[in-house]
Structure 1
């Protein structure tokens, strides 16, 4: 494999002083629940991160991507937000966050936060008011009447990750209507055809930028805006999400328009010499991915995620070349081998190949992202009583070799 990749592994000759910070740093993703527990309650927290900033600095990283720390009922471990301007009490409070920012600033490490604009928690005050038709909040979410006497769902849309054809519409007795959720019913989608929603979410950005963060990783970008409410054509017979042609619900032109509004909003911070970045999670085909490059945003590169130990050298080369060729020279690349939603690299490759791949993503032209624990080749852990397979890669950082890494228990 190494010989097959040799011609691709090089350090790009850029003048670092002329590049924005996010093009010159290594990003390190932290899943706060599992990184470091400072108070022995079995849950990682902000103080645990603060206490280990020196360790992070020793790795040579220049930026942290922090998975959600917002107030949340944890139906999806923070990706169901009930208060965008407050901290999940399990992780600390705003004072804890300020202490973390102070320590990071002292060590010249920047922080970007997960930003979840597509949906909120069903416990969010906006949703509670919307389902009760409170004036001003009636249209913060996507509400539709049922169809016919039986009040069937408005369209045939299926929720993401559904394997049984579960509808993306949930009936709400209080409002006597359906609401749309591309993910779980506990995560109702926001309605970006309502200008107030966009302004609310810009306000969330402002709040955290004023607290010192340097940018955001924007979650679930392709699903931001639905353009019409019609049935989508089936492209296969299975009752799953991927068997629908998502003409109206994914990668729409209206989504690009809203994304442009967000990036334009960040421009004022760049003008004040407080350069920000917006990293996008967009699990879309390459022809759609390239459309997400806008105003120095970085759509995530998932090309290396499907490779395994039995993948050939040619497959490695092809995945790297397809991204470089697809984004073209004027667009900035990025590379990573694992994250909180995927199998860890060390569970897909042996130790030597894991180390080699970590080296390769540091040398390829673009910005490297690494997931906590990859530096010590952490593997997925088989968990009992967890139906969410993603939790295998979210287990406690192995500060030592004792059970639960010496301190944490999921």
Structure 2
């Protein structure tokens, strides 16, 4: 039955808004309804529009209190569940690595990379023109050898202005454009910086008053020997000045505060320009004995003649010297780390510090500093520059030696620090010449599958070899300073122009008169980028380099610091790459650096290995195709110069008995 009279009167009462008035109106409505003989219902439970008193009355009942507590408990459990899930994700998710631990560095000698203006000399615009190439091969950071103003006696190592660009390489605008283009492709820019010395044409040295304080002078020479041979002292304005390199490169006086301030200002200027880090070179020579004590003879040195050789002395007062009253190189690095590099590091823009020293690994590792007193992020590791023959005559290397060099670095590296490896740079013969023909692929596989950050030298990705030089064509001052030993000392063979194509000058320059250093003629026979990028030319060294770089970037087993060796022989070095928690796919790497074929049983040596695996990358592309790429780990055969990256089968079940253990594997 309709209750229209009741509803109309209740609606009118609701417009009054006060609970008391509403209750009275309701009573009147009921009475009116009764008088009209209309059936009515009194609501004895919660109803829409109830007043405050009625609401409190009903909410205090047991069933509503229980309902509220149930809701509170559900909300609390949900909140704690989400908190637990967030903590689990934070704990189990791999730590995000900083950019310099994720990328492949690519060292460029700018004079030899690409000539944009046809003068026969590579330049900064040439680097900009080749950014697409760097991106294609997977480079994440470039390391440029010195590009600062220079008298070019030692091609950038003799600096005339620490805040300017060498005119032979371009302008400041060229530099800024290069940085912008590289950053657009997410490629970082790191510069060599050499604070130990300047050019003798630097305004500081040419200023008579300033040079007395900025450089190191003595009235008489002692027996210190230059790295380039001969006395480390040269007659000048205020007596004899110290030069640990050539006489054109006088050592700066780091005991003079203004020198450090000048160099600090220079670093800051380049950071403002967008530089992502510096490789601080020659740091081991910054401080010398204040007493200028003669250095002892090296009893193991057997050479002779003039000029006197650097190796004829034990350099305890001029290299890695820690006894100076004004501090040490480590004090300086810690200060620069804190006051410059960290100050310019912001979210997403970390400024990396690299250093170089050719001392043994235990000394070089000290350049890391400590967790609480950090210094360099990456003291450069030169151990693998021992691969092959140092004079570029092509020699094999024992797998056991390679393991020893790797372990030497890792064992000396402080806790929570990050390793790096390189197989070539601008001061040593190219790896493709140091090793026998065809072994460059093995060397690149080693570089790109080891833990830490790889540093590739330009041209090594296509197997460039040393260019033939004569005393007449060499331009290296280190060689020219010692004509009798020039062939052993020249660094020019590894600095020849990059080989881009089969065009004249290997596509490096359009200069018809030639290039600043000779181009290696093997570019005509396919040792060039264009030929190796050709899709019809399957299995080239450059394609292998790209594949290894991609593997390193995309597989968790390689994006960490973990490895363990399996078995090393005179021929083969082998190791497993995996995550620390062993939850991701595992990879087995085996490379034959010897002169003969090898067949080894790795399954019997390492109980964690399955009986089979699948080749995912090999230096011999045909082998990967054969038999679906499956190999047996108990009889793995490798030819000389061959390397394999094998994805290991997963262990899916282990059955144990009193006298047996069965492992079942799922093919990768």
**Distance between the aligned counterparts of 1:406 and 1:297, measured in 2?**
37
| Offset, 1:387 | 5.9
Call closer, same or farther: CA 1:320–1:207 in 2, change over 3 Å: same
**Distance between the aligned counterparts of 2:262 and 2:421, measured in 1?**
32
**Secondary structure in 1 aligned to 2:278?**
strand
**Secondary structure in 2 aligned to 1:331?**
coil
Task: Report which structure shows greater RCO (CA 8 Å, sep ≥6).
Answer: 1
State TM-score, norm by structure 2.
0.55
Deviations, residues 107-137 of structure 1 (Å, cap 9, x unaligned)? 01000001010000000001111xx124xx5
Equivalent of 1:114 in 168, 192, 196 = 192
**Distance between the aligned counterparts of 1:110 and 1:68, measured in 2?**
16
Equivalent of 1:234 in 297, 307, 322 = 297
| Offset, 1:274 | 2.7
Equivalent of 1:133 in 205, 209, 225 = 209
Equivalent of 1:379 in 465, 469, 476 = 465
Equivalent of 1:62 in 118, 140, 156 = 140
Task: Indicate the residue corresponding to 1:39 in structure 2.
Answer: 117
Q: Unmatched 5+ residue regions in structure 1? A: 1-13, 147-152
**Distance between the aligned counterparts of 1:272 and 1:364, measured in 2?**
28
**Distance between the aligned counterparts of 1:66 and 1:184, measured in 2?**
22
| Offset, 1:216 | 0.5
Equivalent of 1:203 in 253, 257, 265 = 265
Are the equivalent residues in 2 in contact too, given 1:16–1:24 (CA < 8 A)?
no
Are the equivalent residues in 1 in contact too, given 2:352–2:377 (CA < 8 A)?
yes
* Matching of residue 250 in structure 1 with residue 319 in structure 2: yes
Matches of residues 312-351 of structure 1 in structure 2 within 5 Å? 312-350=398-436
**Distance between the aligned counterparts of 1:15 and 1:48, measured in 2?**
41
| Offset, 1:329 | 4.2
Q: Unmatched 5+ residue regions in structure 2? A: 1-91, 323-327, 389-394, 477-489, 510-514, 517-668
**Secondary structure in 1 aligned to 2:213?**
coil
RMSD: 1.8
**Distance between the aligned counterparts of 1:143 and 1:101, measured in 2?**
39
Count residues with an aligned counterpart: 381
Larger radius of gyration: 2
Are the equivalent residues in 1 in contact too, given 2:113–2:508 (CA < 8 A)?
no
Deviations, residues 335-361 of structure 1 (Å, cap 9, x unaligned)? 110010011111122454211221222
**Distance between the aligned counterparts of 2:360 and 2:282, measured in 1?**
14
Task: Indicate the residue corresponding to 2:378 in structure 1.
Answer: 298
**Secondary structure in 1 aligned to 2:384?**
coil
Are the equivalent residues in 1 in contact too, given 2:114–2:498 (CA < 8 A)?
yes
Task: Indicate the residue corresponding to 2:42 in structure 1.
Answer: none
Equivalent of 1:22 in 100, 103, 110 = 100
**Distance between the aligned counterparts of 1:401 and 1:346, measured in 2?**
20
| Offset, 1:396 | 0.5
Are the equivalent residues in 2 in contact too, given 1:31–1:67 (CA < 8 A)?
yes
User: Where has structure 1 moved over 4 Å in runs of 4 or more?
Assistant: 14-17
| Offset, 1:267 | 1.6
**Secondary structure in 2 aligned to 1:268?**
coil
**Distance between the aligned counterparts of 1:73 and 1:112, measured in 2?**
22
Are the equivalent residues in 1 in contact too, given 2:469–2:493 (CA < 8 A)?
yes
